[in-house]
Structure 1
Amino acid sequence: MSLITMSQKELNRLEAIQKIRDSRLSVVDAARLLNISRSQVHRLLQAYDRNGAAGFASGKRGRPSNRRHSDELRNAVLDLVRERYHDFGPTLAREKLIELHQIAVGKETLRQWMTEAGIWKSRRERKQRIFQPRGRRDCFGELIQIDGSHHWWFENRGPKCALLVYIDDATGKLLHLRFALSENTFDYLLATKAYLERWGKPLAFYSDKHGVFRTTHASEMDRTSGLTQFGRALYELNIDIICANTPQAKGRVERANRTLQDRLVKELRLRGINTLEEANAFAPEFIADFNVRFGKEPRNPKDMHRPLAVHENLDGAMCRKEVRTVSQALTLRYAKVIFILDPTDYAKTLPRQKVIVCDYPDGRLEIMHEGTLLPYRTFDTLRSVHRAPVVENKRLDDILSIVADMQEGREQKRRQRGPSRAGQKDHMFGIPDGSVSNGYQKRGRKPGRRTDFTNDPEVNAKRQKALARIAACD
């Protein structure tokens, strides 16, 4: 037998036995070295004398296992997998074989069978997707990549928040930064409004598939019906938005996020900045320094930013717009609130008409019909059952913090509303020591008949007087 086919354990034993035969090692020392008994050493010596080095190899080597499945079962299983479970993984295919066909095969055994038959490929054998580099755009303002980076920007000095990043594809320069609690429509509208006021309108924004930028309920009949509020605002200003299919496609802003998570975090630490307001005030200074260090000159010096047209209203576009129908009573509902239009001559002509509710990021709310502003007043807040919210993955941190605050508020109300339970002995009345219930004392209520069983002296005195009056009447 070749020494290459022997295991390391067998090679060690062969070396020790050869040393014994050459009188360089005793049997006792060999037993101690190999951690076996002296009898086992003598058996190895006999095997070496009979067969040489081949006497140390296991006799089972090269033979099929006694627990090996038959070829008939293997072929039957592979036929079933090819016919019914060709696109199943080994784990799921094994479950179905046991559940539907009563065939029990080990998961790893089935994996080896499927791999040898070419039905399944391991992760190492699967081809990794290739992302070839894309050249920069030629002109400044031709394509602006935007993204939100969730990170502990203030480390342990402040809350985890999102940084909205606007970076030019041609030059790699940061054009705007805004710190916000999360990636939401209002903060993107505010950031984009500030960007447009500073630089003008680019040809297009390049983003990911976040719910702020892309909706899954697009309509083929009307282009605007399938747009998000952010997409609708850009459409009104004649700016296009392109959604990347993979993070690698917008690698410029992704790499910038990684750089910012290193450099910007340390700059905020050195300056002792702990709040969103302070960070947003520091952002322009950081942007200027960043662009000097990492900015590139575009291949074409032309600036593709366009000024706002005369008919374009930036403030009117950068808001949330919802369509509502006016009732016969000149009312409409928005955000769980009933609004009543003032009964002007113009408003009286609007029942069953569509109006637009403009909800601005700064908290203002306007109701308009064909460009005419309608005065209104708030009537009441609608009540609704609390339902589980549908949340984007990137907003989960913000929603969980809101949920925690809501739960803490509810717990405080319940503690204030309910009787004290500390040291309670009488579970029927919430009375820890037999005195009058704390719940009754808080509400100013008089104790009922059941408080006659208390040990309070004042209550017992009243009880004795009442019993005396009853006895006198009898």
Structure 2
Amino acid sequence: MSQLHKRFTDEQITFLFKAYTNGLMTRIEVQETLRVGKTRFFALLKDYRQDPQDFSIRYQRTNSRRISPEDENAIERELLREKALLDDPELPISSYNYSALRDRLKKQGITISLNTIIDRAKKLGCHQPRKKRKAHDREVLTASIGALIQHDGSTHRWSPLTKQKWTLITSIDDYSRKILFADFFSAETTWAHIQATNAVIDNFGLPLRY
């Protein structure tokens, strides 16, 4: 069992658990492929589901060391900083980014796993369980590219490093979902929307509808 990391890469194991989660493989098939028992399977699956994008079995082998009080304080500071961003009603942030937090800690010379960060987050009240997304087919309103361009603007403080609000104007092709235009403006004005529309027409031609 301890040789799992020598037989498979993180990407290969991630692929197997993704296939299992999507119903493309059974638990038995994944267990037989990895050559692990039921208990080990569910332990790995739990780690995968906590952070599918950054799942790694290597952290399971390197994180037995004790974390110093100084590092614990640094982890707490970063978690409370993240919580302050979520609590700010002017910022368009709705979930914790533990991967970014881990990267910030790494720059400070603190290397820990996501599981450790999540464990500390739960103890500090800085954790939000991930909501399960319902599987659904996106409704397409059109039958061809260029038949409809969805155009919109949204004004927020897009970065916690600035006090100024900016307007993000986007234009998206309804059929292909390709982003045809996206840029920030100091204010949402008619002229800003005209500039965005002109950019789409200059680069992609005249659509049937906006």
Length-normalised TM-score, structure 2: 0.33
More strand by share: 1
Structure exhibiting the larger radius of gyration computed from Cα positions: 1
Length-normalised TM-score, structure 1: 0.15
